[in-house]
Amino acid sequence: MIIDSNSLKGVIKIMNKISKIFIRRIWLFLVCVWIITGCAGFDQSGKTDFILGNWPPGYLLKEQLPDSAALLPPPPALKSKAFALDKEVSKKSFVLRNTPRWQLARNDANLNFPQAAETFSCALNAPINQQDTPHLLNLLNIAKTDAGDSTNRAKEKYHRLRPFQMNNKPICTPEKKEKEFLEKNGSYPSGHAAIGWAWALILAEISPERTDAILSRGLAFGESRIICNVHWQSDVNEGRLMGAATVARLQANPAFRADLEASINELSVIRSKGLLPARDCKAEAEELMH
């Protein structure tokens, strides 16, 4: 059968249209899968991926991160006085398990955005969300990755056991995959404490008039890891050091500085509008009293 040139052009045109439709549908499918599996901090069953959820690329390259293996001393030896203190602090935290402070510690374990963004909103006395403060939301989420990654080298070097692996007591995030991750991830230093202290230092720079409240919340954020029975006091102490080292390194990063300035401007607008946090700050203050 002979096909003339006009007919052939028509066939090619139709095939091109079909290809474009097919490609668009494939892209739509992939985007949907990405949204469902990668972006959501909470799935539709209501379960939370506290640690294993969304981690964007950081501001810093891997080689630009402060080196926790070089900066930190080894974790306390098992028969040392320092480890005896770790165990004593851990034991004293057990009395908080039937109090609201235990639930707050569980909430603090959630590092997923946008849910985690409101953690410091009471201390900041302002909402932190996509609608009102998109630059601040983005800044905290990206800095989370840098501060968390700053602890990796020491974690890999020492592979310290976590409290629950030694005392067999409950943890505040007992979900199977969360617990399995923690069991394989070294306890020293605390990544959560590094992140919380980095957030506190950044927010104190954005809102210096709220420094005391913000730093106090940053300290409590690290203490939540002890209450959760997933970190020792020394893990938290050295995690805060890595958080501070990360923020010091971020100060020289142009992208971070640009987002910081944009966040300061956003907060100025928030203050002028008198917008308040969405969290129950009175209840949070009572929980922190424990």
Using CA atoms, how far apart are residues 144 and 58, in angstroms rounded to an integer?
8
For the whole model, what pTM was predicted? 0.83
Write out 116-169 in H/E/C secondary structure: HHHHHHHHHCCCCCCCCCHHHHHHHHHHHHHHHHCCHHHHHHHCCCCHHHHHCC
CATH architecture of 47-288: Up-down Bundle (1.20)
User: What's the pLDDT score for residue 22?
Assistant: 42
User: What's the pLDDT score for residue 8?
Assistant: 44
Which of 106, 153, 210, 225 does the annotation list as catalytic? 225
Which of 106, 153, 217, 231 does the annotation list as catalytic? 231
Which of 86, 235, 240, 259 does the annotation list as catalytic? 235
User: What's the pLDDT score for residue 13?
Assistant: 53
One-letter amino acid for residue 257 of the chain: R
pLDDT tens digits in sequence order for the chain, 290 residues long: 444 555 445 544 544 544 444 444 443 333 333 333 333 333 333 334 566 667 999 999 999 999 999 999 999 999 999 999 999 999 999 999 999 999 999 999 999 998 898 999 999 999 999 999 999 999 999 999 999 999 999 999 999 999 999 999 999 999 999 999 999 999 999 999 999 999 999 999 999 999 999 999 999 999 999 999 999 999 999 999 999 999 999 999 999 999 999 999 999 999 999 999 999 999 999 999 87
Which of 192, 210, 217, 240 does the annotation list as catalytic? 192
User: Would you kindly state where each structural domain of the chain is located, as residue ranges?
Assistant: 1-39, 47-288
Write phi, then psi, for 45 (nearest 5 degrees): -85, -10
CB 290 within 8 A of CB 101: yes
175 three-state secondary structure: coil
Active site residue 192: yes
